[in-house]
Chains A and B, each alone.
Chain A
Amino acid sequence: QSALTQPASVSGSPGQSITISCTGTSSDVGANNAVSWYQQHAGKAPKVIIYEVSERPSGVSARFSGSKSGHTASLTISGLQAEDEAEYYCCAHAGINHWVFGGGTKVSVL
């Protein structure tokens, strides 16, 4: 199972909005709505910020939003803040017995 495709890096200025894409296939991203996104700060464990394509866990800022079209999921960060500088990973449930992550996107706040 190949990793989902994410851009290596995305950058933006404080206050701007950025979008990270996550492209898969009909077997993973396109198969169902079990797409989730994780934020990982350097040296820390990942933290879920979006699940089921567009749902936010309790406590996660509304500045994070998710969507999906066909085989591509997207994460949008609005009102970019310095604390958003981190690595972001998408994940899809590929069938009933496998989960696949994207390669990760480094977000830089200029």
Chain B
Amino acid sequence: QVQLVESGGGVVQPGGSLRLSCAASGFTFSNYAMHWVRQAPGKGLEWVAFIRSDATIEYYAASVKGRFTISRDDSKNTLYMHMHSLRSEDTAVYYCAKETTPRLPFDDWGQGTLVTVSS
């Protein structure tokens, strides 16, 4: 079955950087577009970024554009999120999600990894 396992979260100071990973298994990773979605403590869901299956297209939420970069390594079945110039408002659980079709954008989710931006 589909499994998505995020890692790389932790505590980082404002202005710092972090790289999140999402290890995928149970499906042909290279065939699917992927997303990152985050959830601040006690708050709702916020879409963060998208990468197409062939990695030729990336989209970002306005709140992270220019600071975050989504990427993928199909040889390792892994999705990444490179996060720079982190702010306190980036504190959240970050989920990776598999897109089955454009009309089913978040079909499978990982368990999430917590990023805390604090001095």
Q: How far is the CB of A76 from chain B (nearest CB, A)?
A: 20
Q: CB distance A104 to B111 under 8 Å? A: no
Q: How far is the CB of A37 from chain B (nearest CB, A)?
A: 11
Interface 1/0 per residue, A1-37 and B, CB below 8 Å? 1010000000000000000000000000000011010
Within 8 A of A (CB), among B92-106: 95, 102-106
Q: CB distance B47 to A101 under 8 Å? A: yes
Count of B interface residues, CB-CB < 8 Å: 21
User: With contacts A48-B106, A52-B104 known, is A1 near B62, CB below 8 A?
Assistant: yes
CA distance A5 to B113 in the complex (A): 27
| B61 located at the interface, meaning its Cβ lies under 8 Å from any Cβ of chain A in the complex | yes
Q: CB distance B47 to A3 under 8 Å? A: no
User: With contacts A46-B95, A97-B59, A104-B45 known, is A57 near B107, CB below 8 A?
Assistant: yes
Give the residues in chain B near A89, CB-CB below 8 Å.
44-45
Count of A interface residues, CB-CB < 8 Å: 26
Residue of B nearest to A100 (CB): B47
User: With contacts A45-B110, A46-B95, A47-B109 known, is A93 near B46, CB below 8 A?
Assistant: no
Q: Say which residue of A3, A36, A40, A55 sits within 8 Å of B105 (CB atoms).
A: A36
Give the residues in chain B near A34, CB-CB below 8 Å.
102-103, 105
Q: CB distance B104 to A101 under 8 Å? A: no
Q: CB distance A101 to B102 under 8 Å? A: no
CA distance A100 to B105 in the complex (A): 11
Residue of A nearest to B61 (CB): A98
CA distance A57 to B61 in the complex (A): 27
CA distance A1 to B62 in the complex (A): 8
Chain B residues with a Cβ under 8 A of chain A:
35, 37, 44-47, 50, 59, 61-62, 95, 102-107, 109-112
Known contacts A36-B104, A45-B112; 19 additional CB pairs below 8 A are A34-B103, A45-B95, A48-B104, A48-B106, A48-B107, A51-B103, A52-B104, A55-B103, A89-B44, A91-B45, A93-B102, A93-B103, A93-B105, A97-B59, A98-B47, A98-B59, A98-B61, A100-B47, A104-B45
